[in-house]
């Protein structure tokens, strides 16, 4: 995959089988919230420009999507700055420079299999509105709801990101149903699951890397991808990386680098 265009919301991927346009996810059909309601929520900037969302998993580490990193493992960590404890995207408080980028060896930038990254911060991120989130050991069950938050677009025709953090609850689809909807477009692997309220609620452009949280307040997913720049469409639910599927990799690296 090569990055051909990134103008807030569109990533274009090319591989041997042809060309695919992949949207990063956004919050559609959600509501404005304050960061106190999702205190693990952070935004990630590259060279000053907003790139993705993320989740603080310890004061020293953030979990996000691997595809958010333009050059993958070869990226210069200090190009990235994390901000937490902020409701508004224009709020420049609580900035922490990234010191190390960790990607799973099985991450595939063509298929987006195992699409997670762990960012180690140079200094702990601690503030009154900041709190790490715990990891879920079990994947969300089909039919259950997860809460997704981010600063992504609120409509697929939008061109400007909202300033205020938004959140939405979406329903997890069965693996079979997810695979059926994306048949012929991209393979849904065991590291992925789908969730949306078809035609009403979804994640979308610029929400990538952000958290999906279960009813117990645990991190169960990372916003990963969807079909082109279509959002809240019945045929293109948001696709999430399963935290439970990658739990051992995440937990082992947290033990080494995050405390």
- Please identify which of the residues 40, 67, 202, 245 carries the catalytic annotation: 67
pLDDT of residue 154: 55
Instruction: Find residue 58's DSSP bridge partners.
Output: 61
Mean pLDDT of 133-151: 96
Q: Where are the domains of the chain?
A: 25-31+134-242, 39-132+246-257
pLDDT at 11 over 50: no
pLDDT tens digit sequence for 81-107: 999 999 999 999 999 999 999 999 999
Task: Please indicate whether residue 176 is annotated as part of the active site.
Answer: no
Provide the CATH number for the domain formed by 25-31+134-242 in this structure.
2.40.10.10
pLDDT tens digit sequence for 51-92: 999 999 999 999 999 999 988 778 899 999 999 999 999 999
Of 25-29, 56-60, 130-134, the range with the lowest mean pLDDT is 25-29
Same fold, 25-31+134-242 and 39-132+246-257: yes
pLDDT tens digit sequence for 172-231: 999 999 999 999 999 999 999 999 876 444 455 557 899 999 999 999 999 999 875 556
Provide the CATH number for the domain formed by 39-132+246-257 in this structure.
2.40.10.10
pLDDT at 1 over 50: no
- Please identify which of the residues 55, 167, 191, 208 carries the catalytic annotation: 208
Task: Please indicate whether residue 196 is annotated as part of the active site.
Answer: no
pLDDT tens digit sequence for 221-237: 999 998 755 565 557 78
- Please identify which of the residues 40, 55, 113, 115 carries the catalytic annotation: 115
Task: Please indicate whether residue 115 is annotated as part of the active site.
Answer: yes
């Amino acid at each position: 995959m090569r990055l051909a265009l990134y103008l807030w919301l569109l990533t274009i991927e090319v591989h041997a089988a042809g060309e695919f346009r992949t949207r990063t996810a956004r919050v559609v059909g959600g509501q404005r919230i304050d960061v106190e309601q999702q205190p693990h929520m952070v935004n990630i900037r590259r060279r000053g420009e907003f790139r993705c969302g993320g989740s603080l998993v310890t004061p020293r580490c953030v979990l996000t999507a691997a595809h958010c990193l333009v050059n993958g493992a070869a990226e210069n960590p200090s190009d990235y700055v994390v901000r937490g404890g902020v409701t508004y995207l224009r709020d420049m408080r609580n900035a922490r420079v990234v010191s190390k980028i960790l990607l799973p060896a099985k991450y595939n930038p063509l298929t987006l299999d195992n699409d997670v990254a762990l960012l180690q911060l140079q200094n702990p991120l601690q503030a009154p509105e900041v709190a790490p989130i715990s990891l879920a050991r079990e994947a969300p069950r089909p039919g259950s709801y997860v809460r997704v938050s981010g600063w992504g677009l609120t409509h697929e025709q939008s061109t400007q990101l909202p300033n205020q953090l938004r959140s939405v609850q979406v329903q997890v689809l069965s693996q079979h149903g997810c695979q059926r909807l994306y048949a012929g477009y991209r393979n849904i692997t065991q590291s992925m699951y789908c969730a949306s309220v078809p035609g009403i609620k979804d994640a979308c452009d610029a929400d990538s890397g952000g958290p999906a949280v279960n009813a117990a307040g645990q991190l169960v997913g990372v916003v990963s991808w969807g079909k082109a720049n279509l959002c809240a469409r019945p045929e293109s639910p948001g696709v999430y990386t399963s935290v439970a599927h990658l739990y051992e990799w995440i937990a082992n690296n947290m033990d080494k680098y995050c405390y």
